[in-house]
Structure 1
């Protein structure tokens, strides 16, 4: 089964908790704090594996969570950081944030990788909180929660040449005739449901990868038929070979077929219609093909290269392949490099408010990335840690903001997964 789109959940590992500990040695009076830091949680990393050709494995496993870091220990021992969780993907995989649609990475080369979810940093042990006013603090942080998100993986086939055209015009037969690929061939529409790849040896030392793509129909840019599943694979190709049924076996006009397919490309993305294209006038061994070819050439004009072929009898294939190879040689660089693929684009983010306050019935809810992370990393088992949390929240202006919203002593305040009672 060929799978080219999945949606999966990734979560970086939580950081390890910091430790509260003190030195207990016979000849070291008042040894002081000795709690180590927690280790960093593991990242979730997508890495290209050239041995993969489909996203089928993600149909059966949709959740990927890295391990958390080790907790800090006594005697100043820090916890070990967790190893990253490496998830292998095929070349040509585009990683997008499922919520925003932003492209995180476009993975095309062997070994290329991207961090999809970062692990949380380890919590600090009480060694880190020593101060002149508190030389023996009972304060340690919990590990920072790892990043979590839903991501979309979209596979776009990597090929030099893409075969386009209506269903049943002979694309699969052409690929089978010029390469060792053996796609399924039958006399009904949409026999080809997924891209087939083949390496074509031109015979003069040149070769290229050709993709037999599922047939287009009118309305494909809106998702009709195989629609977007087909069009996403055209993105990668450098040259298009437009296969046209010149015998008009199904009663369609070859010129109208050519116009409609190019219109679908243009409606999906303007630059696709301007991509280098060669017309393969197929089925020239059948009656009426010669007359239709003359009419077709007259309508498209001299600027459109048309090569009469018969994929079944192999007539004209040598000339077609040489023309395709020559056109590829004229392309200075692959399209993914031209479009800046593989380069991360950093966008400035609007500064967010530190927190917002809303009400849920009688409960005041404080929301904000910083305050929620602060609460999550507080170890409520130690009084010093709770006092520190209260001091930081006051310095951030949370308490004053609650008073302005009408909160009074004894009211319930929720931050993250914790509820507190407001006190003077």
Structure 2
């Protein structure tokens, strides 16, 4: 099934720890006449490590953590004691995250498995103590190496997940409820605007062991294209879906007008969004009388495939999946 990329994005500054300095030290013991050099090595600086976590779905936890710095290594000590290593910093990210160099865009790492760890920046090596510089001609070296400095880079983290269908609707249109019923996803559901602050993804099982991925794009409000509320961030996510499923509750005063308002928000943000295939689902069927169906239908656009559903009563769900699968199949055939 052809899918488009569903991307979350963050740019962070990372700095690995500097290595500790080697020690310049000589043995000083009561019964040793001429103690030789015994300066220990410095400990390495902390690494910056990217780690995959199946418990994360977005990069939202890194949005406000722009600077990440690892600890330096400790200096070496006498008695050939090596300094402690600087503590590594582990950045947990969802599976599917790609790290790119902030300036060149060159890929540095890709996380595909839970628990996978990749060192983005290595900590500086610790300096050698003076014990390493003893020779036949120099019995008392008065030199030890400084530790290597840490590295610093701006790094772009991109999360790429596949989403075949993007749910588009105002807050409380029933998107989270529909996704939870259609798939194994468990989005938070409540009776207040902006329930879903980050996109939720669910795999929807279809006939004969087929499936497709549906994304509940967080609710937009009228004026989102001008940056009101949290709209712009959400509209960026909508750009990544191959098919847009508009969800309008049957209880709306005018379902057709609400659909047009949503469409207008997308048009003002990016007219190319209107080139995507569109489907319409009228939700919350259980909250209207059968006699009201015709009044709702009369106000709907005739040029878009439409189905009535009730997630609560699980009505119309197979018809909805059939409609989506037909659209996805047509989209795939057009691409090929």
**TM-score bracket for this pair, using the shorter chain length:** 0.5 to 0.7
Structure 1 residue corresponding to 2:298, chosen from 291, 310, 332: 291
Structure 1 residue corresponding to 2:189, chosen from 166, 172, 184: 184
CA distance in structure 2 between the partners assigned to 1:71 and 1:34 by the alignment? 14
Correspondences of 1:199-218 after superposition (within 5 Å): 199-218=203-222
CA positional deviation for 1:279: 0.6
Q: Which has the larger radius of gyration?
A: 1
Task: Work out whether 1:162 is the aligned partner of 2:166.
Answer: yes
Gaps of 5+ in 2: 1-7
Structure 1 residue corresponding to 2:51, chosen from 47, 51, 70: 47
Task: Work out whether 1:311 is the aligned partner of 2:316.
Answer: no
Q: Which residue of 2 aligns with 1:110?
A: 113
CA positional deviation for 1:122: 1.4
Structure with greater contact order relative to length (CA < 8 Å, sep ≥ 6) = 2
Verify the 8 A CA contact 1:173 1:311 in the aligned structure 2. Answer: no
CA positional deviation for 1:163: 0.6
Q: Secondary structure at the match of 1:204?
A: helix
Correspondences of 1:387-402 after superposition (within 5 Å): none
Return the TM-score normalized by structure 1.
0.55
Q: Structure 1, residues 143-165: CA drift from partner, whole Å, max 9, x if none?
A: 23434578787877764432113
Q: Which residue of 1 aligns with 2:261?
A: 257
Q: Which residue of 1 aligns with 2:4?
A: none
Q: Structure 1, residues 106-148: CA drift from partner, whole Å, max 9, x if none?
A: 8662245454543122123336667999775422233234345
CA distance in structure 2 between the partners assigned to 1:66 and 1:178 by the alignment? 43
Q: Secondary structure at the match of 2:209?
A: coil
Q: Which residue of 2 aligns with 1:240?
A: 244
CA positional deviation for 1:79: 5.2
CA distance in structure 1 between the partners assigned to 2:242 and 2:11 by the alignment? 28
CA positional deviation for 1:252: 5.8
Q: Secondary structure at the match of 1:230?
A: helix
Correspondences of 1:91-102 after superposition (within 5 Å): 91=95
Verify the 8 A CA contact 2:254 2:299 in the aligned structure 1. Answer: no
Gap change, CA 1:30 and 1:329, over 3 Å in 2: farther
CA positional deviation for 1:174: 2.9
Return the TM-score normalized by structure 2.
0.66
Gap change, CA 1:273 and 1:39, over 3 Å in 2: farther
Verify the 8 A CA contact 1:18 1:125 in the aligned structure 2. Answer: yes
CA distance in structure 2 between the partners assigned to 1:331 and 1:68 by the alignment? 53
Verify the 8 A CA contact 1:14 1:67 in the aligned structure 2. Answer: yes
Q: Structure 1, residues 351-407: CA drift from partner, whole Å, max 9, x if none?
A: xxxxxxxxxxxxxxxxxxxxxxxxxxxxxxxxxxxxxxxxxxxxxxxxxxxxxxxxx
Q: Secondary structure at the match of 1:289?
A: helix
CA distance in structure 2 between the partners assigned to 1:215 and 1:145 by the alignment? 47
CA distance in structure 1 between the partners assigned to 2:39 and 2:275 by the alignment? 65
CA positional deviation for 1:102: 6.6
CA positional deviation for 1:50: 0.2
- Give the root-mean-square deviation of aligned CA atoms: 4.9
Q: Structure 1, residues 51-71: CA drift from partner, whole Å, max 9, x if none?
A: 234668779999865444354
Higher mean Cα deviation, 62-71 or 279-288? 62-71
Q: Which residue of 2 aligns with 1:324?
A: 324
CA positional deviation for 1:17: 1.3
Verify the 8 A CA contact 2:223 2:265 in the aligned structure 1. Answer: no
Gap change, CA 1:114 and 1:81, over 3 Å in 2: same
Q: Secondary structure at the match of 1:231?
A: helix
CA distance in structure 1 between the partners assigned to 2:135 and 2:268 by the alignment? 69
CA distance in structure 1 between the partners assigned to 2:302 and 2:134 by the alignment? 85
Verify the 8 A CA contact 1:247 1:292 in the aligned structure 2. Answer: no
Gaps of 5+ in 1: 298-304, 333-424
Verify the 8 A CA contact 1:105 1:114 in the aligned structure 2. Answer: no
Gap change, CA 1:48 and 1:325, over 3 Å in 2: farther
